[in-house]
Amino acid sequence: MHVFTYGTLMFDPVWSRVVAARYPTVPGKLAGFRRMRVRGDAYPALIPGVAQDVVGGRVYLSVDMDDVLRLDRFEGEQYSRCVKEIQTEKGPLRCAVYVFKPQYLRLVSEHTWEPEWFARRGIHRFLNRYRGFL
């Protein structure tokens, strides 16, 4: 199963703490969604947007089911795994995507989540808080 990541899992120090194997990746884009900050935390929520909204990320190719189940546990109750079409340099790919569940939308701020911000300021806090995923 291909997995589209758009937040903390795009960063190898996070991804490699969650899954057991290594996978090839390609850049990808998901249309019709927005990547927003979760209040008081360093990770994003993927929520429905308008057709013009596009979220960039990474597609991990052919992720084995044991690692998908690890990702399910990592994402937790707030996210639902669904399948979406992701645009890549290899063409469109059907990928698992973790979307924020509607009942948790009250936790989403009005600010977008930026990968550059996470790389500069959020990743260290995130890794210190979320240790030992395996």
134: in domain? no
Q: What is residue 86's predicted lDDT score, i.e. its pLDDT?
A: 98
What Rg, from alpha-carbon coordinates, does the chain have?
14
Q: Which CATH number is 57's domain given?
A: 3.10.490.10
**Looking at the 3D structure of the chain, how many domains does it have?**
1
Q: What is residue 127's predicted lDDT score, i.e. its pLDDT?
A: 86
Range of the domain at 25: 2-129
The pTM of the full predicted model, rounded to 2 decimals, is 0.93
43: in domain? yes
Could you say which residues of the chain have pLDDT below 50?
Answer: 134
